[in-house]
Amino acid sequence: MSSSNQTLRLGSTAPDFQSDSSNGPISFHDYIGDSWAILFSHPDDFTPVCTTELGAFAKLEPEFAKRNVKLIGLSANNTDSHKAWIKDIDEVTGSKLSFPIVADPERKVANAYDMIDYQDATNVDNKGLQLTIRSVFVIDPKKKIRTILSYPASTGRNTAEVLRIVDSLQTGDKYRVTTPINWVKGPAVSDEEAKTLFPKFRIIKPYLRLTPLDLEE
Ligand code: BEZ
């Protein structure tokens, strides 16, 4: 485990750790392997916003898997709590949560990743110890941190935005491009717009559209 006072920035190596999780012991860098990873913390098991978030991430897991991204949750609760709560999450949200949730009761990983805030005195456990905030770390296969998001306990995240960030990073890496505000992966021109722009436009497949470029008069 790296020291807890190391400042993590975009481009930092994600601190490695060994921990127990809902799926058994985890060695973080080994778990990532050649994939990307989303390490994300929540404040507390058996709480409403966290239940909706973890269910939403679990339902979106196939989309992350398509992009070679592994999910891994974290909170200060223990593994028994995580395992019992996962049953509730699946029941309430219709998910089948299978990714590991790290058990970090001593806040070792939370401190290494600075997943604790200054402001929310209500986000503490029954011993007054600070609970984790809603952090998101997007980590690439070289174990470099590529995005850091921090949300307060009061505000649930947006899973589509996390997926959009992955798409932007992977597209940028592949084509050496940058993506503008509100960019989402997909055709930049809708079929309807294309029909007006390109009179001879044909849809071969939903993902394959052709037009001759004999547009000059
Ligand atoms: C929640 O998930 O609903 C929650 C957890 C901790 C503090 C505030 C809200």
Q: For a ligand 1 pocket test, name from 47, 51, 123, 134 the mutation site with the most ligand atoms within 8 angstroms of its C-beta.
A: 47
Tokens 């809708």, residue?
190
The catalytic residue among 14, 50, 97, 115 is 50
**Nearest-10 crossing angle of helices 48-59, 159-175:** 40
The confidence band for 172, taking pLDDT boundaries of 50, 70 and 90, is very high
Mean pLDDT of the region 11-24: 98
Is residue 75 within 8 Å of residue 43, measured between CB atoms? yes
Instruction: Characterize 97-135 residue by residue with b for buried, 16 or more Cβ atoms within 10 angstroms of its Cβ, and e for exposed.
Output: bebbbbbbeebbbbbbbbbbbeeeeebeeeeeebbbbbb
Give the predicted TM-score (pTM) of the model: 0.86
In percent, how much of the chain has pLDDT > 70?
95
Instruction: Please give the distance, rounded to the nearest whole angstrom, from the Cα atom of residue 96 to the centre of ligand 1.
Output: 22
H-assigned helices in the chain:
28-32, 48-59, 61-66, 79-93, 108-112, 159-175, 191-197
- Does the pLDDT of residue 77 top 90, yes or no? yes
Fill in the DSSP letter of residue 13: B
Instruction: Please give the distance, rounded to the nearest whole angstrom, from the Cα atom of residue 122 to the centre of ligand 1.
Output: 10
Mean pLDDT of the region 113-136: 92
Mean pLDDT of the region 42-48: 98
Instruction: Please give the distance, rounded to the nearest whole angstrom, from the Cα atom of residue 119 to the centre of ligand 1.
Output: 15
Give residue ranges with CB within 6 A of ligand 1: 43-44, 47-50, 123, 153-154
Is residue 3 within 8 Å of residue 95, measured between CB atoms? no
Instruction: Report the SS3 class of residue 170.
Output: helix
Domains annotated on the chain, with CATH: 18-175 (3.40.30.10), 187-217 (no CATH)
Q: How many helices (H) and strands (E) does the chain have?
A: 7, 9
- Pick the residue whose CA is nearest to atom 7 on ligand 1: 153
- Does the pLDDT of residue 217 top 80, yes or no? no
**Nearest-10 crossing angle of helices 48-59, 79-93:** 70
